[in-house]
Structure 1
């Protein structure tokens, strides 16, 4: 089972990946980041996307939906932003945030690869 650093490196190998963060959605703090740079401030993105996750969880609660969120996709003109809450016991309260260049990424393959890495991740 890969540790956090190894998993982040594997995610960065996804074609078109700009940056990745492992985020605690209770605090909004990034536990680990890789990539980003001038194109994307991952610390700010981690905090901002925490609000997205919280809002979705509140909406699901109000709707009495008991299903789990597989991922949240935000499509921009030039990028895809994926939020994937971790489902393992050790990952409870954490999510992966991944930004991809839309002109280089294959969304279906990216989601498949991210799911595979998440399933093997040991936090």
Structure 2
């Protein structure tokens, strides 16, 4: 099972990978980063992508119709969501959002949420070249990496 550095290096082997990071979306801090950054600053990119991830994770508009939220409209943490029947939702997993994809004229930005056994707020971020990157392959590989990633 790869740690942060190994995970990032493996992400960079994807065709068209320009940069990758593991980011805490609560604080906006990069836990690790490799390659280039769209704005030439990994910390600024981490903070900016964290804003996007936080919005997707917390707002009702991105939830499936059968996902339930508390009265504030959010689940409050990355852990299990409460179920509509009043149970604690222990049989449900994580956020309603698995990953986010943004496309620009020159690239793709992929954010993959990492589910952990503890109350995590981490995601994998990958910046791909639009002309040489393979978005479908990137999503599959990031899903695999997020499932194998070991955070200590």
Both structures adopt the same fold (TM-score exceeding 0.5): yes
For residues 18-61 of structure 1, what are the alpha-carbon distances to aligned partners after superposition, in whole Å with 9 as ceiling and x for unaligned? 10110111110001001115864221111001111121223228
In the other structure, the counterpart of 1:25 is 25
Structure 2 counterpart SS, 1:15: coil
Greater C-alpha radius of gyration: 2
In the other structure, the counterpart of 2:59 is 59
Aligned-pair CA distance for 1:87: 1.1
Bigger drift between 88-97 and 21-30 goes to 88-97
User: How many aligned residue pairs are there?
Assistant: 123
Task: For CA contacts below 8 A with separation 6 or more, give which structure has more relative contact order.
Answer: 1
After TM superposition, what 4+ stretches of structure 1 lie above 3 angstroms from structure 2? 37-40, 61-67
Mapped pair 1:75 → 2:103: yes
In the other structure, the counterpart of 2:44 is 44
Is the 2:62–2:97 Cα contact (8 Å) retained in structure 1?
A: no
